[in-house]
Amino acid sequence: MLHELKTFCAIVATACLLTPRVGFAAPDWENEQVLQRNRLPARATFWPLGDQEHASDREHSPWVLSLSGKWRFHWSPTPETASAEFSQASFDPGDWATLPVPSNWQLHGYGTPIYKSSGYTFRIDPPRVSSTPPKDWTTYAERNPVGCYLREFTLPAEWKSRRVFLHFAGVEGAFEVWINGRAAGYSQGSRSPAEFEVTPLVTGGVNRIAVRVYRYSDGTYLEDQDMWRLSGIHREVVLYSTPQLRIADFAVRTDLDASYRDAQLQVDVKLDAPAEASVEGYTLSAQLFDPAGKPVFASPLVHAASPILNREYRADLLVERTPQRGVGPFGWLNAKVENPAKWTAETPSLYRLVLSLADAGRRVRETVACDVGFRRIETRGGRLLINGAPLRLRGVNRHEHDPCTGHAMTYEQMERDVLMMKRANVNAVRTAHYPNDPRWYALCNRYGVYVLDEADLETHGLRGRLANDPRWAPAFLDRVVRLVERDRNEPCVIGWSLGNESGWGPNLAACAAWAKAADPTRLIHYEGAQGDSDPREVDLISRFYPRLRAEYLNPDLPVDPAAEDRPENARWQRLLDLAENQPGDRPIITSEYAHAMGNAVGNLTEYWQEIESHPRLAGGFIWDWADQALLVRRNGQTTFGYGGAFGDNPNHGAFCLNGLLMADRTLSAKYFEVQRVYQPVALELAGEEQSVATLKVSNKRHVLDLSDLEIAWRSDAPSGLTREGVGPGLSAKPGESETIQLTLPHRELGEEAWLRVACRLKHSHAWADKGHEIAVAQWRLQAAPGKRPPREAGTHPELTIAENTHDIVVDSANVRAVFNRGSAALTELRLAGYDVLAASEQASPHLQVFRAPTSNDRGFGNWLADAWADAGLEQVGLSPLGCTVERLSPSSAKVTTIVAGEARQGSMTCRCQWILHSNGIIELTSRFNPHGKLPPLARVGVVMQLKERLQRVEWFGRGPHENYPDRKQSADVGRWSTLVSQSATPYPRPQETGSRQDVRWLALRDDAGRGMLIVAPHSPITFSAIPYTAEDLAGAKNWWEVKPRRAVVLSLDAAQCGLGNSSCGPGVLKKYAVLPEPREFRLLLAPVEDTEDAGKIAARLLGELSGD
């Protein structure tokens, strides 16, 4: 059956080979017709094992020999300068260096890493890659670098009289291989395995292997993915040995019946043997072991080997397997399995299939095995289904990338990724944009992650040109065939993605037809970016970066003067419009959305509100998992570098920094936001009455009920009072809801409180410990009936006021404030004898309407960042309009300052009223009024610089991680603390960072506990306390360039703009914009001492001062 499934590919390839070529013979690596020499057909991932008892342990198999490790290595900038003799058995490598395999040679000092989002690093001239590029390009000097690899190995004595095969799991570039000086083969396709039989080339004892890797080949035209362009043997190299008759390949299907209860296990097997080998009496057997390791069948399934091998091409077998009409049986081995445990991402139940070949004497000659998952993926009525249950993909795109090792990933690195995904409620991953290391699929099988498996095929820089060129059809098909053949037995794989951003044409249509015929059990996906958006050959409607059915900020602003028809947001289709208006009933996914570049991932909550509102919307994949940064040394420190950091040209700069995580997998606020929005349980406060909270709990899982979870709750108040408890048991089935009640303790009169409820695991799982929270929600409870405690009686010392032509000085034992008349600014502030402001010209509190542009602010068209620059908002010129003082009582005074801010487009005024009390309390009211034609603003607030020693920050508001108006779902309101030195996120491309929203109070203290308390008596505020100004961050291109100030830069905002998604996608929703309109916010400032609790002081201040 497997042979016949390839017929379509062979026909197309043969037709293309008949197309005449004109000119001199090209080398294999510049000939799109030559994809391989002597490479064996692609096969599923399995290895010859020792015996059935060790059928899951490749590491201890006597028939597998790893060649990973240290190899001798030599690098040349061009093929012409590479050694021509190194492949000879007698070649002496002399002083050649050693290089680890797997690795990318650029990360070991050879050649230049190049980052490109799309487009080629060499002159476009397909299939040639060595044409002369511009002189300033990296490839002008490094035209087509070549790496020559050498190592020796000793063939085990037990392998005598057996067959030997050489396996490359992945080589980035085209390569040739020799064994003992004799050619073994050639292959291209960087992320699919290449195997060669080397039986006639190896000898007993010591052997030598030589590999020549070309950085570029005609195949590179099909590998134009958004990633670092690196080279070398980046996955494992393995030798393995088999008997003369071997299991060359096998395919497994697990067809569930109409009720999704029972299954039919079908196993198709391909056997292979030399013509002279005797197979008489050989049998093939299969046994299935359940998740507990117990055999499923009373006796193994057995079939004679000879009919499977079918050397004689017996007519009866040919008719049975390939009838003249209809479809023949799929498997040689078939059996019914009654009600097997089903595999899903929520219930990753794995069986183990063990296949054995035995000779006529019943001696087992070969054993192989694979994991099996019983599941069915399908679409029906516009819905995506897993085992009949509606499925939504809460997914991410993931590149194989590590900042130290590049594209060479270890098992530990991969396992770390999959565990972090599971803990973030991610249930699906798209292997952007190529087949991943086979071990990745084993991990997804084990832990439970759906995989959209993508072919190593992208021609972004040529759009759809090659998809429509019949000479390239074999190359297109080769990549999809190798994808499907390798991964068709992986339970986690739910669909085949034909590639990425390569337009559409008959070559891709042929790929889709082949994949569907070869494996009708999975879905076909493709997002071409150009050409036909929804070809009939695919099963899923896919879109990049859709927008919501909501009002966006400046939706019609052109990207550039030459693109009037491509407005900033209108270029992106609306998600719900697709769901409601797209013809047919194919499910709709967004294969890339929520572009996570820099400080990003705005309005993810709104995305999922829309996705969950329509049955056709089956979820999507965030772009992407982790930043693709590489480590560099700058100014004596190791830091993250992006495009251009290595002198690479051309490059696409920081566009590789799109991850939910830093490149080293440091967690970010973006990760926590995804964890919260992707949670599979919805919690809603349905009612609140006295001390009882009623919750609606909705199960958004696809398979499991909620009985494995428990409810835990906590109540937090600004005063610092915290209470907690547990709730009743849960039982809601998938898609259903239940109502529970929580009994809450008594609260103080007039006290605000926040109720946090979490659903956490009752028991440990393979991916998380007991108590791990998979769903959380929080609500502000109604204030307890009653009034705040009355104002404390007492007398306050007298306040003195001194005035001259330069300054106004307001002084007492507990407060001293100096206002400069020339600048209308507070230039000195002492609370309880403690100097607060830094000794800097910029220390005075002053109006701030600018932030360091985020990657989204710079976005496609840079319209927000450009609008701020055009308006001159980076440095607003402040002019004093007034500075006056008025005594209100013997113990209080009011100072009013008015400044005008002049921008190139429009202006603004800021009026600050400072009421100073002799007990140290200051009431600040700030009023902002815009004038003229100002653009939407980054923020409205005041900024000041405090003494450097005020490093300890504590607040009651959203935290602990940074948060913004459209990315704060995961930041709970509570009492949090950190250090100023740790408050900023070190984005490799510096930008706005450190904001905390919905803050009731904050305190900044020194190590002795002294400092300043700030309270928002009416509306909560936003703050950041970091050692950098907005100008510091905006003026730097790399984090290592940013030098921390000897001060605390404190920003207090009435409002700050949302983040949006416009680094590649739609921008900020209008409801999260800061429009230029009048605003006011009020603050209380007070001293705080070492023994005082900031929350209690804040509560007392709110009782003493109503804010009137």
Q: What are the catalytic residues?
A: 501, 592
Helices (H) and strands (E) in the chain, counts: 16, 61
Q: How far is residue 83's CA from residue 148's CA, in Å, rounded to a whole number?
A: 8
Which are the contacts of 638, defined by CB distance < 8 A and separation ≥ 6? 631, 632
Which residue is associated with the tokens 């590179």? 220
Amino acid at 697: V
Q: How far is residue 667's CA from residue 514's CA, in Å, rounded to a whole number?
A: 41
Amino acid at 63: W
Report angle CA 688, 689, 692 to the nearest 5 degrees. Answer: 80
What is the rounded radius of gyration, in angstroms, for the C-alpha atoms of the chain?
33
List, as one string, the DSSP characters of 95-144.
T-EEEEES--GGGGTSS--EEESSS-SS--BTTBS-S---TTSHHHHSSS
Which are the contacts of 911, defined by CB distance < 8 A and separation ≥ 6? 896, 897, 898, 926, 927, 929
Residue in 357, 317, 353 with CA at minimum distance from that of residue 335: 353
Asked if 602 contacts 547 with a C-beta cutoff of 8 angstroms, the reply is no
Which residue is associated with the tokens 């309390």? 921
| CA distance to 767, 838, 847, 1022, per residue, from 835 (Å) | 50, 8, 21, 24
Q: How far is residue 1108's CA from residue 1105's CA, in Å, rounded to a whole number?
A: 8
Which pair of tokens denotes residue 242?
């088999």
Which are the contacts of 503, defined by CB distance < 8 A and separation ≥ 6? 459, 463, 464, 465, 467, 468, 528, 529, 530, 531
Which pair of tokens denotes residue 274?
């030399």
Which residue is associated with the tokens 């005008």? 900
Q: How far is residue 56's CA from residue 354's CA, in Å, rounded to a whole number?
A: 9
* CB neighbour burial string for 132-155, b if at least 16 within 10 angstroms, e if fewer: ebeeebbbeebbbbbbbbbbebeb
Reported in sequence order, the residue ranges of 868-936 that DSSP labels E, i.e. its strands, are 877-889, 892-902, 907-917, 922-931
3-state secondary structure of 937: strand
Q: Considering Cα of 126, then 127, then 131, then 133, what sign does the dihedral take?
A: positive
Helices 506-518, 473-487: crossing angle, 10 deg rounding:
20
What distance, in Å, lies between the first and last C-alpha atoms of the chain?
83
Residue 567 DSSP one-character state = B
Residue in 485, 328, 520, 538 with CA at minimum distance from that of residue 6: 485
3-state secondary structure of 990: coil
Helices 473-487, 7-17: crossing angle, 10 deg rounding:
160
List, as one string, the DSSP characters of 1049-1097.
EEEEEEEE----STTSS---BGGG-B-S--EEEEEEEEEE-TT--HHHH
Residue in 658, 659, 552 with CA at minimum distance from that of residue 606: 552
Which pair of tokens denotes residue 805?
């032509």
Judge if the upstream peptide bond of residue 785 is cis by omega within 30 degrees of 0: no
Q: How far is residue 631's CA from residue 959's CA, in Å, rounded to a whole number?
A: 30
